[in-house]
Amino acid sequence: MVRPMASSSVPPVKTAGASSRSPAKSPAKKRAKKPDAEPASADKAGMARPKRAPREKPPSIVVKRIHRRDLNRVWEFLKLSFRDVNRATVEYQRPRTKQRFFETYEEEGVEQLLFMVKSEIVAYAEVTYEILGQDTWLNPRYFEKRDMRPLYVEELAVHPDYAGRGIGSFVLEQLDHLAKLRGLTHLVLEVAENNENALAWYRKRNFRKLDAAIFMAKSVDVPDELLPPRPLPPPREPAEESKE
Ligand SMILES: CC(C)(COP(=O)(O)OP(=O)(O)OC[C@H]1O[C@@H](n2cnc3c(N)ncnc32)[C@H](O)[C@@H]1OP(=O)(O)O)[C@@H](O)C(=O)NCCC(=O)NCCS
């Protein structure tokens, strides 16, 4: 089972130009910002000063380890995130069944991370530090021979509504971080060639193709089981009645 550990939250990135100086240390600046420039008549006439709308803090992306209570929501998230991808690829790009996904949670050595914006799941990543299971597509000797110590990325998905906002990049940064902490040398994953968006995205981030299976197909010349259409014959002329 994946041991639920204390959530680790990533502190929000400081906005550019944000000063660490205490405002008390720069009273001159503070004074200069007072709305002295307002027409004096505004107060005198009893008119309310236009209030500045309080600037809203941009929400943070918080990363946490999955909890049992998250499983249903994450499964729904995965179905949605891989919906379009699975239409285009031969191989399923996510766990095939909900049951399999729930079993994964119980497995030792699987790290399942959720990326949240407020209470919404915006991304999911699943990694293992070794090849798990008997029936696997990976040959550990391939990596050993090359002095590669991989972090295996089993799943990586961003909510489609949050695409193109740097969340996927943040997920990769987190996985890179985990690999570094454990002395691993590579992130290794499988992506379908038809999943062109993800493939281009990985390539741009320095992922290079290893030896991998390519799904091939050749059409067999089989006649159709159903016969082709044929012209409908005209109705028969009614037989002439015998005069006898
Ligand atoms: C592939 C996938 C993970 C990318 O996630 P994403 O969150 O859209 O990725 P990012 O936002 O980090 O990067 C997308 C683009 O947005 C741009 N971008 C826009 N705003 C950004 C911001 N604020 N910060 C960083 N990048 C930003 C990036 O430059 C990037 O463009 P590039 O690839 O030309 O450099 C996501 O499309 C996905 O989950 N797809 C479906 C599931 C899937 O196929 N998973 C992989 C199969 S294993």
pLDDT of residue 165: 97
Q: How far is the CA of 230 from the centre of ligand 1 (A)?
A: 53
Per-residue model confidence as pLDDT tens digits over 134-166: 666 788 899 999 999 999 999 999 999 999 999
Number of domains making up the chain = 1
pLDDT of residue 47: 62
Query: Is 220 a member of any domain?
Result: no
Closest CA to 111 of 184, 49, 207, 200: 184
Closest CA to 94 of 79, 116, 73: 79
Pocket test for ligand 1, best of 169, 196, 207, 209 (most atoms within 8 A of CB): 169
In DSSP terms, which residues pair with 160 in a beta bridge? none
pLDDT band at 93 (very low <50, low <70, confident <90, very high): low
Q: Tell me how many helices (H) and strands (E) the chain has.
A: 8, 5
Query: Is 50 a member of any domain?
Result: no
CB-based contact 186:150 (threshold 8 Å): yes
Q: Chain-wide mean pLDDT for the chain? A: 80
The residue contributing the CA closest to ligand 1 atom 34 is 201
Query: Is 39 a member of any domain?
Result: no
42 compared with 238, residue with greater pLDDT: 238
Write down the pTM of the prediction: 0.72
Query: Is 77 a member of any domain?
Result: yes
Three-point CA angle 136, 141, 143, nearest 5°: 95
Provide the CATH number for the domain around residue 115: 3.40.630.30
Closest CA to 64 of 125, 147, 108, 23: 125
Q: Which helix (H) or strand (E) holds 169?
A: helix 167-181
Pocket test for ligand 1, best of 165, 172, 195 (most atoms within 8 A of CB): 165
Note the maximum CA span of the chain: 128
Query: Is 185 a member of any domain?
Result: yes
For residue 36, what are its two tokens?
């002295």
Q: Which helix (H) or strand (E) holds 174?
A: helix 167-181
pLDDT band at 236 (very low <50, low <70, confident <90, very high): very high
Per-residue model confidence as pLDDT tens digits over 182-210: 999 999 999 888 889 999 999 999 999 99
Any atom of ligand 1 within 6 Å of the Cβ of 207? no
Query: Is 167 a member of any domain?
Result: yes
DSSP state of 160: G
Q: Is 55 exposed, middle or buried (0-12, 13-18, 19+ CB in 10 A)?
A: exposed
For residue 126, what are its two tokens?
């699943």
Q: What average pLDDT score do residues 98-115 get?
A: 95
pLDDT band at 19 (very low <50, low <70, confident <90, very high): very low
Examine the pLDDT at 58 and tell me if it is beyond 70: yes
Examine the pLDDT at 116 and tell me if it is beyond 50: yes
Query: Is 242 a member of any domain?
Result: no
Atom of ligand 1 nearest to the CA of 159: 39
Closest CA to 116 of 159, 76, 154: 159
| 3-state secondary structure at position 88 | helix
Domain with 154, as residue range(s), is 61-204
pLDDT of residue 180: 96
Query: Is 168 a member of any domain?
Result: yes
Residues near 119 by beta carbon (within 8 Å), at least 6 away in sequence: none
